[in-house]
Amino acid sequence: MAVMAAESRPWPAPTAAGPISTTVRLPGSKSMTARALVLAALADGPSVIEAPLQARDTTLMSAGLRALGVAVDTSADDRWRVEPGPLRGPATVDVGLAGTIMRFLPPLAGLADGPVEFDGDPHARNRPLRPIVEALRALGVRIEAAPSGGLPLTVHGTGLVAGGEAVVDASGSSQFVSGLLLSAPRFAKGLTLRHEGPPVPSAPHLRMTTHMLRAAGATVDDSVPETWVVEPGALHGRTWTIEPDLSGALPFFAAAMVTGGTVTLAGWPAQSWQPVEQLSRLLTALGGEVTRTAGELTVRGAGTLRGITADLSEVSEMTPVIAALAALADGPSELRGVEHIRGHETDRIAALATELAKAGAGVTEFPDGLRIEPRPLHATSFATYADHRMAHAAAVIGLTVPGIELTDVGCTSKTLPEFPELWAGLAARS
C-alpha cells in the first residue's frame, strides 16, 4: 500500500448511464481507527482492532506508533493487533497530511522517553497546530515548533506529562481537544481542559472521543459546556470494532442522489458514533430518502435535488461532497459555518469556489462558506489540491457531467486507496 503521497494521477471521472442502484461495503472509519490505535497504544494490555481502515492516514498512524515503541501488527487486513510497550524516543513521525496524526500523537509523544520529531507533506506545514502545542507546553511538555507554531516540531518527551489545567482555542479544529483528551488519562494529574474562543466545530467527533475514552476505562466529565475533565488512570486493552466510514460513504450515497438511484451501505451498526442523524437530515433536505434497516443504511435519490441552506459545522468534512450536490440542485444553496475548513487538507472553501466556478456554477465565497447557484455544468479539468474529498466532489459531478477530469485521483489514498476502482464499479452499475 502506498504510504508516500502518491504521484499525481489524472483521471477522467466515469459518467453514469442511468440510475445507480447497488450495495457497497466500505472500510472502517478513519476517525475511529485513529482513536482506537492511540488508545490501544496507551493501554495496559494488548488490543485488537477489527475492521480497521487501511489507508494512508491510518498506515502512517501505525508507523508513527511503531517508531515510538508500540507493536502494531497490521498483517491481517481486518484484524490489527496492538501490543503497547514503553514509549521511547528518539523517534521520527511522518504525519503525511493527516490532522489526526499531527494532533493526536504530540500529546502521546510527551509521554515518550526522548525527543520525537514530527513533519509531513508540504501542505501539512500550513495546517493549524499552535493551540495544541501551546496547551501542551502549559501542561509541562517541552516542544520546539516552527515559527508558524506548527510543523516541523520536536516534542522533548521525558516519560512523564504533569497535566493539570489548560485552556485551548479549538475553533480551528476539534482535533486540538480530541488529541489532548486521548492521552490525558496517562498525564500525572489528568487534565482539565477549557475551550475559549469561537465555537468548536465537529461536535460529533468530540463525542466519539469521549465515548471511546470511556470504553477504554477512562473517567471523563463533559457535563460543563466547553470543558472536559479527564481523571488520571489506566486505559485498558480491548477489542475495538470499527464502524464503516460514514464520510467515506457520502460520495457513494451522493451517486444515488444525483442519478435517482439507490445506494445501500452494508454493515451499518444499530448504534453509531458517527453523525448519521445529521447526514440523514442533510440528504433529506436535498431531496433524498434515508432509511436504516438491520445492518444497512440506504439512500434513495429522487432524480432531482433541492437547494439547501445549512450550517455544516458539525459535519464539516462533508462540505466538498455536499457542495457538489448543491451545484447539481434545482435552486441555490448556502453552506455556512465552516470557516475552519480553510485549514483542512487544502483551503476547501477557496478550492471549491474555484473548481465549481470552472465547471460553470455560480459561486459566492464567504469567510465561512459558499453560496452556490446551479447552472448547466460542463467539462473541465477539476483540480484536487491533494485533497481526497475534493476528488470525491469532482467524481460526483462527473457522474452526470461528461468530461470532468480530476487532476489527481491518487490523493484518495488518504482514506480509501481503492476509491478509483470502487467508483468505476459503481458507475458501471447504472
Ligand X SMILES: O=C(O)C1=C[C@@H](OP(=O)(O)O)[C@@H](O)[C@H](O)C1
**Beta carbon nearer to ligand PEP, 389 or 429:** 389
Site mask, ligand PEP, residues 380-399, x = CB under 6 A?
Answer: ---------x----------
Rounded Cα gap, residues 171 and 177, in angstroms: 10
Rounded Cα gap, residues 288 and 329, in angstroms: 12
By the rule CB under 6 A, 100 interacts with ligand PEP: yes
Least distance to ligand PEP from the beta carbon of 148, Å?
Answer: 17
- Percent helix, percent strand, percent coil in the chain, to nearest 5: 35, 25, 40
By the rule CB under 6 A, 209 interacts with ligand PEP: no
By the rule CB under 6 A, 202 interacts with ligand X: yes
- Sites for ligand X among residues 94-133 (CB under 6 A): 99-100
Annotated catalytic residue 226: no
By the rule CB under 6 A, 298 interacts with ligand PEP: no
**Beta carbon nearer to ligand PEP, 73 or 169:** 169
Q: How many CB atoms are closer than 10 A to CB 23?
A: 14
Residue 389 in marked binding region: yes
b/e burial code for range 206-241 (CB count within 10 A of at least 16 → b)? bebbbebbebbbbebebeeeeebbbeeeebebbebe
**DSSP secondary structure letter of residue 19:** -
Residue carrying the nine cell digits 517508531: 67
Please give the grid coordinates belonging to residue 316.
464539516
Residue 272 near which of ligand PEP, ligand X, none (CB within 5-8 Å, type-dependent): none
Residue 30 in marked binding region: yes
**Cα four-point dihedral sign 41, 43, 46, 48:** negative
**Interface pick for ligand PEP out of 99, 237, 275, 287 (rule CB under 6 A):** 99
By the rule CB under 6 A, 319 interacts with ligand PEP: no
H or E element in which residue 12 lies: strand 11-12
Residue list for the binding site for phosphoenolpyruvate: 30, 99, 127, 175, 348, 389, 414
Q: Which residues are catalytic?
A: 317
By CB under 6 A, name the binding residues for ligand X: 31, 34, 99-100, 173-175, 178, 201-202, 205, 316-317, 340
